[in-house]
Copies of this chain bind each other. A is one copy, B any other.
């Protein structure tokens, strides 16, 4: 039957003439739509290839992100989506400067690092200070201020790859909390081991925010090999002095924005489904897996639904701006559209381009049957049904916390943190077959949910992150 459905789906006449197939509902045709995506989706690749090639990096609030929004509007309009527009918002922008580090003594050598978001700056000629090392944020927190004052703090950690990415929360503490703690204790700068699972000389940047009233200090991530090198040097027991040049700067307020595109539904009273990913990227790579893939996957799936017929519920695609500096686009969307838009389901793709391995249908108990139908549609793709509460992600999480249902299609993150926030986040890290499986998973979800005959219920509001 699988093969038969594939053969039917491959008939161009069916794709070109949705009305000819509309005797069956979209939900009935979900398996066929899913299998056609798995077999031959080309749109997701076209979108992520185009975005990463024709724009490249697109840091939030910069000209590159603005070019990406214009590119997105052109592409989404050409694809036939409705209501394509930009919803702009203002944001403060921080940009990278020069970044260099070297061990001055006892073993002179260069180290490779990159500034963390919102890092303070050294003077142009840099600073030189002794390094004091800690194996965790807890160790740093417990240290007497006198051991830290005037020094360059180094915080290590040991994050292992996990399929569900769960290590990132716990082991990301050196990046997120380390700079604030180090500054409070009088450190002149902080370097952390990259929050990454690779062994390449590519540092992992990422946002950190100094606490209220905390003086910004230079804050950077060493590559994993450089952090291990520094550990070996420290292990000799001699005082280690580092020279550090980091000259990032705040450039003031600039515009970012969310790009919106709709697949109009037939029944406005049935509520809207909002899906998407983020358009901005960090500046080091071309943002292929974070998150060119996510915007491409969700748009390609929505496009398949649109080509197949008109769904009951409107499907809204949002390509969010300014996710990386702290979910500014997600907050802007929620502030502007909640509660007046009747959003009943959200879903986000922002964890790379490897296969979806688990579905967490975070629906209300009243929608148990829909959850079962979704899980059954995903199972042939090798996707296990999970028991976690769905939480969408940084961009659509506000809706979930506000009581909107979500479905999480969780991608395999085992290798995600090899590339995340590094110069290595480039198109070659995306595998076409895995990308197609993502489009298939989203297509099945959308066919089932957008056309579900029953109402999609809300859930109790949840606490924020």
Contacts and interface: CB of A to CB of B under 8 A. Distances in A.
A74 interface: no
Interface stretch (A34-42, A49-57, A145-153, A159-167): A49-57
Interface in A108-141: 108-110, 112
A232 B424 contact: no
Contact of A426 (B54, B225, B427): B225
A233 interface: yes
B225 A424 contact: yes
Contacts of A428: 199, 224-225, 228
Given A225-B424, A228-B428, A233 B201 contact: no
| Interface bin, chain A | 20 to 34
B55 A429 contact: no
Given A49-B232, A232-B53, A424 B110 contact: no
A423 interface: yes
B200 A53 contact: no
Interface string A284-316: 011000000000000000000000000000000
Given A228-B427, A232-B49, A107 B201 contact: no
Interface in A304-344: none
A266 interface: no
A256 interface: no
Contacts of A55: 107, 109
A422 B423 CA distance: 15
Nearest to A103: B56
Given A200-B202, A201-B202, A202-B200, A53 B229 contact: yes
Copies in the complex: 2
B199 A202 contact: no
Contact of A229 (B224, B225, B426, B429): B426
A202 B202 CA distance: 8
A201 B285 contact: yes
B422 A201 contact: yes
A194 to B, nearest CB: 13
Most chain B Cβ neighbours within 10 Å, of A107, A233, A285, A422: A107
Nearest to A56: B109
A97 to B, nearest CB: 13
Contacts of A107: 53-56
Interface in A273-293: 285-286
A151 to B, nearest CB: 21
A64 B107 CA distance: 10
A375 B121 CA distance: 60
Nearest to A52: B229
A423 B114 CA distance: 15
Contacts of A108: 56, 64
Contacts of A236: 53-54
Given A201-B202, A201-B422, A201-B424, A229 B110 contact: no
Interface string A402-436: 00000000000000000000111011110000000
A62 to B, nearest CB: 11
A228 B232 CA distance: 36
Output the residue of A108, A201, A232, A233 with the most chain B CB within 10 A. Answer: A201
Contacts of A228: 427-428
Given A199-B428, A201-B426, A109 B57 contact: yes
A426 B201 CA distance: 9
Q: Which of A53, A106, A428 is packed against the most chain B CB atoms within 10 Å? A: A53
Nearest to A233: B53
14 contacts: A53-B236, A54-B106, A55-B109, A56-B108, A56-B229, A57-B109, A200-B200, A201-B422, A201-B423, A202-B202, A225-B424, A225-B427, A229-B286, A229-B427
Given A57-B109, A201-B285, A229-B426, 9 more contacts: A53-B232, A53-B233, A56-B108, A200-B424, A201-B422, A201-B423, A202-B202, A225-B424, A228-B427
